[in-house]
Amino acid sequence: MERRPLLAGNWKMHTTIAEAEALARAIAQTAIPADRDVMLAPPFTALAAVGRVLAGSPVLLGAQNVCWEEKGAFTGEISPAMLQDVGCRQVIIGHSERRHIFGETDGMINKRVAGAARFGLVPVLCIGETLEERESGQTFQVLERQLRNGLLDIKLASGKELVVAYEPVWAIGTGKTATVEQAQETHHFVRNLLIDMYEKNIATQMRILYGGSVNPDNVDALMSQDDVDGALVGGAALKADSFCSIINFKKSA
């Protein structure tokens, strides 16, 4: 099944509002091929401003995290309704930095996925192993735990209701990238796991992104793999020229 590629920029804790507006404007004004989707996830403070810049463009607005409740006494959190209010369509959940720096558990991530889905936001669920886990042969075991626990009791009518992002923790911001063979092997494992968890037609519709030092030099080869359906881009998404090069990838022969 042909899946529509998704190129997502995770700006993390970068950009003032003015910087975010300028970056979003430069990306929105580039020529984006009609056969792919682009999403930007600025920090919360810039969501409304970036949403206004992207209005009328094909670029989707996303957020970097979300709470599971619509409102309430949750200091420091942001609700799905608030994200919808500024025009968000997607939300990154379970990024390795949330897991490893801020201690988010599989159970908490599962609640966030459920909250996003309940409000019609598309969760971009991140999974990935550390270098120690890969070197000790635990990659698939770790990914299966994160995926099954993160999607516990999550019902899907369509594969378009969820995006999975595989991000090897050892490749995020390090300049290291999984080989294309490693990426395809892991994405194929994740695809088969999703087939086991959901109906085959749902799992084959679902997009699995690769994240981990994606740049203009390696994106063509990564996107040429059968089960790599896009990229979740960090550092290279903070410069319009590099991210636009990624958006305009061409599959290798």
Q: Mean pLDDT throughout 13-40?
A: 97
Average per-residue pLDDT in the chain?
Answer: 96
Confidence of residue 1 (pLDDT cuts 50, 70, 90): low
Question: Following CA atoms 46, 47, 53, 57 in sequence, which dihedral angle do they give, to the nearest 10 degrees?
Answer: 150
Amino acid code (one letter) for 159: G
Count of Cβ atoms closer than 10 Å to residue 25 Cβ: 14
pLDDT for position 24: 98
Q: Mean pLDDT throughout 202-216?
A: 95
Confidence of residue 252 (pLDDT cuts 50, 70, 90): confident
Quote the pTM value. Answer: 0.96
As annotated, the active-site residues are 95, 167
Q: Mean pLDDT throughout 28-45?
A: 96
Whether pLDDT at 116 is above 90: yes
Extents of the domains making up the chain: 6-247
What SS3 state is found at 5? coil
User: What CATH number labels 6-247?
Assistant: 3.20.20.70
